[in-house]
Amino acid sequence: MALEEYARKRRFEDTPEPPPKKAKSKRAAKPYFCVQRHDATRLHYDFRLEIDGVLKSWAVPKGPSLDPAVKHFAAHVEDHPIDYGGFEGNIPAGNYGAGSVMLWDRGTFDLLGDVSGNAQIERGDLKFHLDGEKLKGDFALVHMKGRGKGNEWLLIKKRDEFAVPGYDVEEHAYSVISGRTQEEIAQNLPARKEKRKSAGATDRVWKSDRPAAKKAAAPAKKAAPAAAKKKRSSSSAT
């Protein structure tokens, strides 16, 4: 897919989304990946991998999982520009994909095997290792050939040390760049100042990153001189 399809669906004078631009990544080491939680007509997750100067993209209704036992449907959609990988905000009503967009995860990835990313997509079996803030380990995108519109894939977590049986994506529904929930993004509220330790609904508890003060040990030190004084008094009496 080319960025022409991405451009055709959008009016960039009316949306904060970045205009199309295919370019070589400026990232020196590894290609970029991201997952965006998109509350549009239907809530879904957009899974994106940087391949050949664009973000190859799949819409995943149930979101990614770290549970190898589940295989989540992923619809292959139009390529997005690299700059889209940092987008978080609101697409105004009346525009394609109107709704709030959260940058749910981001990081780098390695392709598995010696075959290029585009070649793996063409054969319908794309394997990669993610190193994100939430998603880690080996994954695969597998094309379900001969189904429906032809864009039906499955996103699968491989069994490795990063696998988490029973993983619930909605327990991690917060932004990796702003700490905000979907509702907070939709309301254009400012970024959180504290790092979220647990996440999900807007009533989740936020905890401080400051280490616990060692106040409990202090009183014990004050008691020592008194004990020593008592011992000296006993010795004098003897």
Residue 226 vs residue 36, higher pLDDT: 36
What confidence tens digit (pLDDT) does each residue in 163-195 have? 999 999 999 999 999 999 999 999 999 999 775
- Cα distance between residue 57 and residue 64, in whole Å: 13
Please provide the DSSP assignment of 140-152 as one string.
Answer: EEEE-TTSTTS-E
Confidence of residue 24 (pLDDT cuts 50, 70, 90): low
- Cα distance between residue 84 and residue 226, in whole Å: 67
Query: What are 149's two structure tokens?
Result: 């519109």
Position 156 scores a pLDDT of: 98
What confidence tens digit (pLDDT) does each residue in 37-69 have? 999 999 999 999 999 999 999 999 999 999 999
> Could you tell me which residues are beta bridge partners of residue 33?
49, 107
Residue 50 sits at φ, ψ, to 5 deg, of -75, 110
pTM for this model (two decimals): 0.79
Q: Is 79 helix (H, G, I), strand (E, B) or coil?
A: strand
